[in-house]
Amino acid sequence: MAGRAMLLTYNFNVGGSTSVCSTMATGPPNYKIILCGEYGVGKSSIFRRFLNDTFTTDKCKKSTVGLDQHSRPFTVGGMEVKLTLWDTGGMERMSFIGSSYYRGAQAALLCYSIDNKDTFTILSQYILDIVMNAEGAKIFLCGNRSDCAGDGEEVTEADIENFIRECGDVLSGVYRISCRDNSGILEMFSDMAHVMHKDSLSRMTLRKEIIRPGETPELVHNKKKCC
Ligand SMILES: Nc1nc2c(ncn2[C@@H]2O[C@H](COP(=O)(O)OP(=O)(O)O)[C@@H](O)[C@H]2O)c(=O)[nH]1
Ligand SMILES: [Mg+2]
């Protein structure tokens, strides 16, 4: 199992959220992803892989700006989109993550450490925070440190399946990665980009169907009322 890149396949709810991607008038769609989870699970390591494909064992490496964010282009079905990843900058350690962290997020990457069950069992609390503060954000589950599987109290496949069942339709993807081995990370972000972009396109299609050319949202609203 160690070092194996793995994209777990379950049936996920791809629709149902209410967020809309932030699209600059001239640029590609930009999807904000926030990293969530306990201190030490590897969020900053995921961020560093995303930022410049590096890995460090230095746990004390601090953020310089409190909040870190970085954007990278991804190609989805021949179209360029941008993913902007936000790291907490260690603020979860002081139990303080401001609302600006959550605001406008299209996705939350819920991280736990595969070899530490406590970091997994606490995730429902994080889901509540996400649902309360980042309305409509898609939630993805990410087990990090797959290279350590077997070293400690491991989160099992059965645990994950139970969690998915308990979460109902809340999860949009489940991944298993290793920042140290750099396994599964690019595949994870690429899959997230697909899910978010598909959701954004279906939302745009829906808007076109509801608001036809020449109609204003008010007219549509009135029309709905009288029918
Ligand atoms: N073996 C192993 N160690 C990791 C992995 N990812 C992160 N770490 C280590 O776990 C510690 C905490 O990681 P960090 O990214 O700071 O976690 P954060 O507090 O969630 O941001 C650091 O010492 C990392 O080097 C991994 O995939 N495998
Ligand atoms: Mg960190």
Chunked mean pLDDT (size 10), the chain, 227 residues: 40 40 69 96 95 84 65 94 92 76 95 96 94 94 93 85 91 97 97 94 71 58 46
The answer for residues whose C-beta is within 8 angstroms of residue 159's C-beta and 6 or more apart is 117, 120
Q: Is 176 in the pocket of ligand 1 (CB under 6 A)?
A: no
Quickly list DSSP for 6-48. EEE------S------EE-SSS-EEEEEEEES-TTSSHHHHHH
To test the pocket of ligand 1, the residue of 1, 6, 35, 45 to mutate (highest count of ligand atoms within 8 Å of its CB) is: 45
Q: Which ligand is nearest to the CA of 46?
A: 1
C-alpha 68 to ligand 1 mean position (Å): 16
C-alpha 42 to ligand 2 mean position (Å): 7
Q: Is 48 in the pocket of ligand 1 (CB under 6 A)?
A: no
Write out the H or E segment, with its range, that includes residue 71.
strand 68-76
pTM (two decimals): 0.82
Question: Residues 94, 147, 112, 75: is their CA dihedral positive or negative?
Answer: positive
- DSSP, collapsed to helix, strand or coil, labels residue 164 as helix
Residue 12 has what pLDDT? 42
Q: Is 39 in the pocket of ligand 1 (CB under 6 A)?
A: yes
DSSP character for 89? T
Q: Which residues are bridge partners to 116 per DSSP?
A: 153
- Domains in the chain (CATH in brackets) are 6-225 (3.40.50.300)
Residue 2 has what pLDDT? 35
To test the pocket of ligand 1, the residue of 148, 176, 179 to mutate (highest count of ligand atoms within 8 Å of its CB) is: 179
What atom in ligand 1 is closest to the CA of residue 47?
A: 15
Q: Is 165 in the pocket of ligand 1 (CB under 6 A)?
A: no
Q: Which ligand is nearest to the CA of 89?
A: 2
